[in-house]
Structure formats: structure tokens, C-alpha cells
Structure 1
Amino acid sequence: MEKSLAEMQREVDRYISQFEEGYFSPLSMLARMSEEVGELAREVNHQFGEKPKKDSEDENSIELELGDILFITLCFANSLNIDLSAAHDSVMHKFNTRDASRWTKKNTDQV
């Protein structure tokens, strides 16, 4: 079942709201996000780079690391009352206008 960003934001908020501590401060969340991006970089390097995983390292995956990044992004947005669907729409508008001619589009004409 697909979930919308709004549904994911509500789900994360329900989860976080059950704890007295609530959301961490924006600075703490930025540090956590940086940590998670570093873990993603490590996984990508293990799978596609020149640095194989050590036998002593835990099994992990790019999928799980992206999930961690998504979770902290949802937390960050919720803590600042940011609607990620609206943010996404704004970003896509920017890309579709500012970058409309930046990249070579695929030829979609049927011959």
C-alpha cells in the first residue's frame, strides 16, 4: 500500500508523540541526518565503490539507510511544522521552470 507524504508525516508524529521527549531540536536532527547520510555513503561505497565491507561489520542496505534518512526528514519537517507535500510541489515547480532546458530530454516521438 502506497502512503502519501502527509500520511507518513502523521504516522511519524503519532510515533514521536507517545514519548515525553518529543522531537529533538533542529540542530540535533541536523546532526542525526548528517550521521545517517554518512551511513548511506558507507553502504554505497561498500556496494559500488572500492571499499568492501569487513567481516566484522553489520549487514545493512542502501534501502534501510534511505529509510532512516526519510524518517529523520519526516521528524525534522514535523518539528518545524513543514508540509513536505507542499515543499515537494515547490521544489518540482522550481525544477520544471528554472531547469526546464538544463538537461537533454529523451526523445518520446514514436517513429
Structure 2
Amino acid sequence: MHLRRLQEEVARWIEATPQGYWLPLANLARLVEEVGELARALNVQHGAKPLKPGEKPPDLEQEMGDVLFTLLVLANQSGVDLERSLTDTIARYDRRAPAGRRILEP
């Protein structure tokens, strides 16, 4: 996994901006907004949400990237190692999974 490296890249980028990190609750609001945009993109692509006349279809890949970027920002400012967090989460799923459906190698 390379989440740690991505967190470092995001940290470098944020630290190079004049404003730095936004407040954590502002970043949470931003994450919720980005997830909403992702939900809309999925609803247009796979659901019943029609596009408005002349509206460009949302870019699912871009919306997922925005969600991931904002999550990386929140993890950085909260001191969370997302690589360890995801590995721990996958291990929990593996413990609950039936034999033969493990995600991580032991």
C-alpha cells in the first residue's frame, strides 16, 4: 500500500499553500460535500437521476479523487495513519469472512 506516501504528498501540498490546513470541522464539511457530489455522480451513472438540459455528466473518477484527497487531509491533521487504519479494517473484515474470502494474506 502507498497511502502513507499519499498522505505525505498531500501534507507537502497543503503546507505550501498560504492558508495551510482548514479547521477540522471545515474539512469535515468539505468531505461531506465531496461525498454528496460522488453520490450524485453515481446516481446519474447508475440510478434514476437525469441530467439537466446541457449539463455535462459528472466524472466519477474525479469525484472519488476529491473524496480521497479530502480524507487524506483530515487524516493528516488528525494524526491518523490511513495505511494502518485500512489494514486494520481489512483484517477485521477478514476475521468475519467465510473461509476462502480473505482479502489480506496472513
TM-score w.r.t. the length of structure 1 is 0.81
Which runs of structure 2 are paired with 1:20-31 in the superposition (5 Å)?
20-31=18-29
Report the RMSD for the aligned CA atoms in angstroms: 1.9
Partner deviation per Cα, 1:57-93 (whole Å, 9 max, x = no partner): 3443111000000000100000111111111111111
Q: 1:47 to 1:8 in 2, by over 3 A?
A: same
CA distance in 1, matches of 2:54, 2:25: 32
Aligned-residue offset at 1:15 = 0.4
Q: Give 1:39's match in structure 2, choosing from 37, 40, 43.
A: 37
Match of 1:95 in 2: 93
2:67 alignment partner, SS class: helix
1:40 alignment partner, SS class: helix
Can you give the 5+ residue segments of structure 2 that lack an aligned partner in the other structure? 102-106
Is 1:18 paired with 2:16? Answer: yes
CA distance in 2, matches of 1:92, 1:100: 10
CA distance in 1, matches of 2:16, 2:54: 35
Aligned-residue offset at 1:4 = 1.0
Q: Percent same amino acid among aligned pairs?
A: 40
Match of 1:60 in 2: 58
Counterpart amino acid of residue 22 in structure 2:
F
Aligned-residue offset at 1:22 = 1.3
Aligned-residue offset at 1:20 = 3.2
Partner deviation per Cα, 1:27-50 (whole Å, 9 max, x = no partner): 111111110011011111111111
Report runs of 4+ in structure 1 exceeding 4 Å deviation: none
Structure (1 or 2) with the larger CA radius of gyration: 1
Match of 1:77 in 2: 75
